[in-house]
Amino acid sequence: MSDIPLSQPDQAKDEVPWWRTAVVYQIYPRTFADSNGDGIGDLPGITSRVPYLRELGVDAVWLCPFYPSALADGGYDVDDYCNVDPRFGTLADFDALITVLHSAGLKVLIDIVPNHSSNRHPWFVEALGSRPGSAARDRYIFRWGAGSAGDQPPNDWQSQFGGPAWEPAGDGQWYLHLFAAEQPDLNWHNQQVRADFRRTLRFWADRGVDGFRVDVAHGLIKDLNEPYQPWSRLSDITRPDGSHPLWDREELPEVYREWRQVFGSYDPPRIAVAEAAVHPTRRHRYGADGLGMAFNFEMQEADWDPADYRRVIDSGLGDLAKGNTPTWLLGCHDTPRVATRYGLPRQDGGTAQQIARQWLLTDGRQPSVDPTLGQRRARAAIMVLLALPGSTYIYQGDELGLPEVPDLPAEELQDPMAIRSKGKEKGRDGCRVPLPWTTDGPSFGFGPGPARPPQPPWYGEYSVDGQSTQRDSTLALYRATLALRRTLLAGDDFAWQDTGSDNVMAFRRAGAWLSITNFGPRSFAMPAGDLMLASSPLDRDQLPTDTTAWLRST
Ligand code: GLC
Ligand code: CA
């Protein structure tokens, strides 16, 4: 794909394109800030908080979907790709937000959802009203049902959110939805679908967005040739060889090549980051050889464990050899909060992710979580991520050390995962509780009205206002780390440093500074160097347990 310009104008000047080292703040609009008191966060709410983002010191924001939607999956069910849901604001509000972000020096990525539309999208409404085999149906994935009357789904495939992946159209055909039934999968073999999405990309690029986050980027192309493989044979979704019929197909780069042509037609070229849950050896197909960048989810899956961290860092840096920008994240709107994951006891045979999901099912009663420990480790962790080459994503509220809310009342749960799995999964609402901006007041400053889902009484302890005046708060640590990172930018130069202890991980950057993390139960003697910053106070010359420090080499 080297024939397509992604960042040649910058490279010619021998500069690193902004996104290769960007710290990107992820905003979930519904729960970030509410300007008008209806309990739903909105675009003017975000605009009012741009000074906060600027002070935090991030380089860019990623806006989760704000498009017209029934919010059956938090807005990942899009009715109209080129508009703003009235509950979030208007296109004029969007333009105002972009202007204010840009004048604060922040870039903007927006979420684009190409794998599926909503069931209220005019195309899908037309498809349901059209006959089998029609052009309208060809934009989606319709198949005849099984059984003599066609009253059985075509096969036993399951939705990612639980339950069957097929829904009856009422005339013997069924449509495929790998997510909720309100999210019919689009047919990416259809040229009209492809052309329309390129138009959508241009619509937003023309409005000034700097790039896109591409939802389910590994899912667009499917092989539905019969005979269908049974679901039991399809559980390994991250294969090294592109042989899965639903995910990470070999044909996908062709789609993204067309997108890159669109991006390359702008100056500066637009960029995209792929949400691609693929085998690590295939990440570059979505990154350097695909959309420009790809998320690496391995860090989010990792435990607070030195062996896990070393392995995940090596894997991420391995991308550099393929021209890929390493990307790092501790959490997002789909994962139990990192400050909680790292505060749960380790158990045999389960990752921190799996343990946290189990814990959610008990409303947070069993096993017991240690929030102080979780937050301490999460602080040490973000200092590791921000010391690494590449780009880092921060999920809104992680800079406050917000824990997961495990005990939302069942009637407040909105996630289709909770609803469809019938109690087998609690879903993702507990990391999507509106942010606390003030220590008290209605909805802790989220807006003049209520917060949905409701905030727990202890939320005010984590508020922005409260933490802004505390020198040792997690927010203060994030601000200090981000400010320091700006002064230290070290390119891709990275070298592991032997510490003599398996529990203590250290690496040197640009030959000039060192990041060192103590995962072990006992303090560790600090190596030589001037201390620049530490995630927890040092104990004289000792690095305490669960702490990261950055040192300038002497
Ligand atoms: C992505 C989103 C998630 C959404 C799903 C379906 O994984 O991050 O929130 O539910 O895609 O669009
Ligand atoms: Ca609102």
Average pLDDT by stretches of 10, the chain with 554 residues: 41 75 98 98 98 98 98 98 98 98 98 98 98 98 94 97 96 98 98 98 98 98 96 95 97 95 97 97 94 96 96 97 96 98 88 92 93 97 98 98 96 93 90 98 96 97 97 98 92 96 97 96 96 96 97 90
Q: Please report how many Cα atoms fall inside a 13 Å half-sphere around the Cα of residue 182, on the Cβ side.
A: 17
pLDDT tens-digit series, residues 495-553: 999 999 999 999 999 989 999 999 999 999 999 999 999 999 998 999 999 999 999 98
3-state secondary structure of 552: strand
Alpha carbon nearest to ligand 1 atom 12, residue = 76
Q: Which of 248, 301, 310 is nearest to 275 (CA)?
A: 248
Whose C-alpha lies nearest to ligand 1, atom 2?
A: 215
In contact, 496 and 507? CB cutoff 8 Å: yes
Which secondary structure element, helix H or strand E, spans residue 178, and what is its range?
none
The atom of ligand 1 lying closest to the CA of 334 is 9
CA–CA distance, 142 with 125 (Å, rounded to integer): 13
Fold classification of 14-115+191-478 is TIM Barrel (3.20.20)
> 449, 442 in Cβ contact below 8 A?
yes
Cβ neighbours of residue 23 closer than 8 Å, sequence gap 6 or more:
57, 58, 59, 60, 386, 391, 392, 393, 394, 482, 485
507 alpha carbon – ligand 1 mean position (Å): 34
Distance (Å, whole) CA 359 – CA 370: 13
- The Å distance, Cα 417 to ligand 1 centre, comes to 11
Strand segments (E) across 217-319: 271-274, 292-294
Give residue-wise pLDDT tens across range 351-398: 889 999 999 999 999 989 999 999 999 999 999 999 999 999 999 999
DSSP, residue by residue, 494-531: EEEE--S-TTEEEEEETTTEEEEEE-SSS-EEPPSSEE
- What the block records as the tokens of 80 is 């109209």
Tell me, what amino acid is at 209? V
Residue spans per domain, the chain: 14-115+191-478, 122-176
Ligand 1 environment, Cβ below 6 A:
73, 76, 113, 179, 215-216, 275, 333-334
Please name the residues in contact with 322: beta carbons below 8 A apart, sequence gap of 6 or more.
284, 287, 288, 289
Question: What interhelical angle do 371-385 and 474-488 show, nearest 10?
Answer: 10
Q: Which ligand is nearest to the CA of 73?
A: 1
CATH superfamily, with its number, for domain 122-176: Oligo-1,6-glucosidase; Domain 2 (3.90.400.10)
Single pTM value for the model: 0.96
Best mutation site among 63, 67, 76, 335 for ligand 1, i.e. most ligand atoms within 8 A of its Cβ?
A: 76
What is the position in ligand 1's atom list of the atom closest to the CA of 113?
Answer: 12
CB 230 within 8 A of CB 156: yes
**In this predicted model, what pLDDT tens digit does every residue of 2-28 receive, in sequence order?**
344 444 444 445 688 999 999 999 999
Percent above pLDDT 70 for the chain: 97
Question: Would you give the distance in Å from CA 467 to the centre of its chain?
Answer: 25
Task: Provide DSSP, 308-359.
Answer: HHHHHHHHHHHGGGGTPPPEEES--TTS--HHHHTTSPP-TT--HHHHHHHH
Q: What was the pLDDT predicted at 14?
A: 60
